[in-house]
Chain A
């Protein structure tokens, strides 16, 4: 028997280790420190998130800096030992349970970005709500670590456990405001439905295991891609397994009809937690869906495609139509997130028509990544803004009236993110939609492209309502929301960075897109 594991195995999960160590340190501080635990927790969580963020970049192709900054930056080199890490970490670790490659790196980067911003924004809000416990930051770190494992796992069992690892703290966070009825309701609903859908996921993995006799995704991939090894029973079992896994992930992405928890939970949870749920979980789920699609589902994609088309189109219509009628801002954005899930789902099985046989169009992953990244950043921005906006009662359209006068910064940020969601150039949301439409048209998916376009048009209506209410001159009447935007330094920092990202990142879309493109090849 060989050793338990090697040092390189640990390096492959370095960001996760940093996050979990941070969480355990917080736990430790709680025992050791007599007071100031929360401040310590904020500090530790922030530092570990940023550290992990920095580390996550090292999995990228080294050309990424060059492609962004061109020749002038090529003289900048990583210090030697970090270079070594980059080289070492492109491996499968823990006897094939995880991997660390550009794919994992780029999605981890996206997740850690959002996590960092949420952690920066959270303390002041939680303090004002009198809910500032150090456990909150611990939970946030666990969510991040769980999702990072979710992305980089290469084994069905690890995938499932990391799914649980990422959802359990979210259940706790959803019910964080114990005094509020709606928060309790959100927690229990999220828990019940989450566990219910996880059961589907688990059954799916069982089917895959039963059909192939292995839980290693790469092995499964090798088996299902080799036609001669497949029997009729195993084919149907694999397809059934993929279907059930799709249900489990569809729940996380919130595709119709697995969406129903979204409005209630988003609305019920405290808003900063909603920001966490809306951004992080979506990135993770999309990444895993893409991973499974690429590795396992590809040979059967033509059978799965109709289902995906139907559900993505239904999600778009359902999300958009119901969002039209919402008066509560959080609920409106929750429904719109269902529509966005539909846009993302439209990319799930796009064939490459230029090739013989059934191939996934190579640009899908890049377009998907860019879309979900932009979506997640905008989500953090919008829910962060709302979190600082609301006081005692939820923000409704009615209460947004005259906001541009009483609180111009929040009004601007709300408008900015609404425009980005609506896909108005030059905001990042536009570029996301642009790439999606480009891939759809390149592979002759005219119907889907049409649906995305129509739904974007419907979406503009309710996003424009946000602008209308915040900026319209309602007889010079003062707004009813008297709160000040971003009442702490951390939230200011993340607010500024996020709004700049939403504004400017679109112009840098090309290097990001190419990086995501090369990341999708990292399994070959």
Chain B
């Protein structure tokens, strides 16, 4: 069981990475958006692997079903064509630089981890006493129940804050996009 989980994790993780590269590298915005859909779906699958089926379903419903459809509508409505993005190719050198830099960072990270593992001074055997508690509860109680408890009890403050962030987003968008500002007054 554990093995299957691990295999699935790596599978979806790789799909996700590939999809993200697709999003940022593809010339055609519609295809980029579709890559994003792939990304979201595999993310939802990851949730599923962790046992959070409710969250997985929500992810697919909200992001894929609602947000991405809206995205695609907008893209198609403003009719972006391929040639508008011609100069992306001209920037390949810079893209490569960024890519290499990120790679360098990751490799340092990995190298460091391996160096430290061979270090005797640090005890590699002990693990954290504190584990991620929510995953265990998931199987005992219902998915939606755990999620709602977390949202409305432990994480009530961030939850409320996010609602304000969204409010700001809405107001900000209106203020910036409104053509005749006098009307707002």
> A226-243: contact bitstring with B at CB < 8 Å (1 yes, 0 no)?
011111111111001000
Q: Does A375 contact B (CB under 8 A)?
A: no
Contact A4–B116 (Cβ < 8 Å)? no
Q: Does B123 contact A (CB under 8 A)?
A: yes
Given contacts A161-B161, A165-B164, A213-B131, contact A139 B172 (CB under 8 A): yes
Q: How large is the interface on B (under 10, 10 to 19, 20 to 34, 35 or more residues)?
A: 35 or more
Stretch at the interface among B71-79, B80-88, B147-155: B147-155
CB distance from A505 to the nearest CB of B (A): 33
Contact check: which of B126, B171, B172 meets A229 at CB < 8 Å?
B126
Q: Is the interface of B mostly helix, strand, loop or mixed?
A: helix
Q: Does A429 contact B (CB under 8 A)?
A: no
Q: Does A107 contact B (CB under 8 A)?
A: no
Q: A157–B117 Cα gap in the complex (Å)?
A: 29
Contact B113–A133 (Cβ < 8 Å)? no
Stretch at the interface among A74-82, A170-178, A365-373, A414-422: A170-178
Contacts of A131 in B (CB 8 A): 181
Contact B130–A213 (Cβ < 8 Å)? yes
Name which residue of chain A comes closest to B133, CB basis.
Answer: A213
Q: Does A214 contact B (CB under 8 A)?
A: yes
Give chain B interface residues in 139-174, CB to chain A under 8 Å.
149, 152-158, 161-162, 164-165, 168-169, 171-172
> A196-216: contact bitstring with B at CB < 8 Å (1 yes, 0 no)?
000000000000000011100
Q: A171–B172 Cα gap in the complex (Å)?
A: 9
Give chain A interface residues in 144-173, CB to chain B under 8 Å.
145, 149, 155, 157-158, 161-162, 164-165, 168-169, 171-172
Q: A1–B137 Cα gap in the complex (Å)?
A: 14
Contact check: which of A164, A213, A227 meets B128 at CB < 8 Å?
A213
Q: Does B8 contact A (CB under 8 A)?
A: no
CB distance from A34 to the nearest CB of B (A): 11
Contacts of B131 in A (CB 8 A): 213
Contact B127–A231 (Cβ < 8 Å)? yes
Q: Does B129 contact A (CB under 8 A)?
A: yes
Given contacts A232-B117, A233-B116, A236-B113, contact A97 B168 (CB under 8 A): no
Contact check: which of B149, B157, B176, B184 meets A97 at CB < 8 Å?
B157
Contact check: which of A1, A135, A231 meets B126 at CB < 8 Å?
A231
Contact B130–A219 (Cβ < 8 Å)? yes
Contacts of B132 in A (CB 8 A): 213
Q: Does B2 contact A (CB under 8 A)?
A: no
Contact check: which of A1, A5, A161, A176 meets B156 at CB < 8 Å?
A5
Q: Does B109 contact A (CB under 8 A)?
A: yes
Contact B156–A232 (Cβ < 8 Å)? no
